[in-house]
């Protein structure tokens, strides 16, 4: 997949237990979902929409990466919703629509391009600032 292409891929399956981090925002799919990803979806971070059963759709990012747990022989797909649910959603059906590579989306944002020339980034490396 080239960096500028827009995706349109969706999947739906039951959320399975991952490493137990952020269980009110993070969701993992079963291996067969990851194994059936289209070839043009490479490792990376993507954004789109996710909905867990009867809950409203939420903005999300999804990380698709080679998983060191499987000695990098298998990919994993971890969905991170931009909403913290009151309860975990393990066992629920999660619907995910991947829209675009996050890198492509960020490169297209005019607000970020404006910041590129900001004086903050012109400061000598010998000066340390804490954001104020």
Tens of pLDDT, residues 34-66 = 888 887 788 999 999 998 876 778 899 999 998
Strand, coil or helix: what is 120? Answer: helix
Q: pTM (2 decimals)?
A: 0.70
CB-CB contact of 25 with 31 (8 Å) = no
Q: What angle do CA 78, 110, 1 make, to 5 degrees?
A: 40
- What fold is seen in the domain 9-110? Elongation Factor Tu (Ef-tu); domain 3 (2.40.30)
Selecting among 78, 87, 92, 100, the annotated active-site residue is 78
Of 26 and 2, which is predicted with more confidence? 26
Is 78 an active-site residue?
yes
């Amino acid at each position: 997949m080239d960096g500028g292409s827009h995706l349109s891929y969706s999947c739906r399956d039951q959320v399975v237990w991952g490493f137990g981090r952020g269980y009110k925002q993070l969701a993992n799919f079963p291996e067969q979902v990851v194994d059936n990803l289209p070839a043009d979806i490479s490792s990376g971070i993507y954004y789109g929409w996710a909905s867990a059963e009867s809950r409203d759709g939420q903005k999300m990012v999804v990380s698709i990466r080679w998983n060191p747990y499987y000695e990098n022989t298998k990919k994993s797909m971890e969905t991170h919703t931009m909403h913290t649910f009151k309860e975990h959603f393990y066992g629920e059906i999660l619907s995910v629509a991947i829209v675009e590579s996050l890198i492509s989306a960020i490169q297209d944002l005019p607000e970020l391009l404006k910041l590129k020339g900001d004086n903050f980034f012109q400061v000598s490396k010998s000066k340390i600032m804490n954001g104020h």
